[in-house]
């Protein structure tokens, strides 16, 4: 790597002026696509994400049908123009991995038994990337699934914690992700406004056990803030529909 490593924490603040436990600005809008059953546009800092949900609907090819439950498919994709240097279009190892772990996060919470033989397709498109796209996509996909009316045991809310210059920080942006010591994306299942379990936990880099425990608490507090915004977005959508 030719890029010089910048100092990431200056006078107790992060490069973008945030406190250690502060999220990037978040914007969420539900129901932005006409043809999808459910959809969401989400910004988390400089990340810009569109999620679209189709289904429950008939599965094609048919041999993929499961007679006892719905099949969930999740496709994470980064647009070629979403990063500084053009990304080669199409799936790569990274997007296949992110699609897999994201689908696994949703598998236990979607009430699949209610929709035998059917499929629920979740598409997430990263229009602009600035680190933390898998977590931003999970947040958008959650809102789109609720918007589609898919029965779920709760909602998924996700955020990463990183270690930069020896300090734990919430919701790392690109420079912190690139030059930090560790990056730990978390996703939680939230039910009745309470965190019930961890739906996804990955780790890139190294942290001590104590740091992971502290990071988990930091992520939980951040997730509850995001959850409120997801809820607001859904309420706004239904309120608007009533008025129209």
Contact residues: ligand ADP, CB under 6 A: 83, 87, 94, 129-134, 174, 177, 183
| CB closer to ligand ADP out of 30 and 162 | 162
Find the Cα–Cα–Cα–Cα dihedral 77, 231, 158, 56, rounded to 10°: -50
Nearer to ligand ADP, 130 or 147 (CB): 130
The two structure tokens encoding residue 86: 């053009």
Residue 220: other Cβ atoms inside 10 A = 17
First to last CA, the chain: 54
Which is nearer to ligand ADP, 66 or 181 (by Cβ)?
A: 181
How far apart are CB 239 and ligand ADP at their closest, in Å? Answer: 32
At its nearest, how many Å lie between ligand ADP and the CB of residue 86?
8
Phi and psi dihedrals of 13, rounded to 5? -125, 160
Of 147 and 171, the one with the shorter C-beta distance to ligand ADP is: 171
From residue 103, alpha-carbon distances to 54, 99, 108 in Å are: 14, 6, 9
Measured from the CB of residue 160, what is the shortest distance to ligand ADP in angstroms? 6
Assess contact for 12 and 179: CB atoms under 8 A.
no
């Amino acid at each position: 790597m030719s890029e010089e490593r910048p100092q990431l924490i200056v006078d107790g603040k992060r490069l973008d002026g945030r406190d250690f436990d502060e999220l990037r600005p978040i914007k969420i809008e539900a129901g932005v696509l006409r043809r999808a059953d459910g959809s969401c546009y989400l910004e988390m800092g400089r990340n810009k994400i569109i999620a679209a949900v189709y289904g429950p609907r008939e599965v094609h090819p048919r041999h993929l049908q499961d007679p006892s439950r719905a099949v969930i498919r999740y496709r994470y994709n980064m647009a070629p123009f979403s990063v500084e240097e053009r990304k080669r279009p199409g799936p790569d190892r990274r997007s296949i991995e992110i699609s897999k772990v994201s689908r696994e996060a949703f598998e236990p919470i979607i009430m699949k038994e209610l929709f035998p033989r059917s499929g629920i397709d979740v598409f997430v498109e990263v229009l602009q990337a600035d680190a933390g796209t898998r977590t931003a996509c999970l947040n958008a996909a959650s809102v789109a699934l609720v918007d589609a009316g898919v029965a779920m045991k709760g909602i998924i809310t996700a955020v990463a914690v990183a270690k930069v210059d020896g300090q734990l920080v919430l919701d790392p942006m690109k420079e912190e992700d690139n030059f930090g010591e560790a990056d730990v994306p978390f996703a939680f299942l939230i039910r009745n406004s309470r965190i019930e379990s961890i739906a996804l936990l990955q780790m890139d880099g190294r942290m001590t056990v104590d740091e992971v425990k502290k990071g988990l608490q930091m992520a939980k507090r951040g997730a509850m803030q995001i959850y409120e915004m997801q809820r607001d977005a859904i309420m706004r959508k239904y309120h608007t529909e009533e008025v129209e």
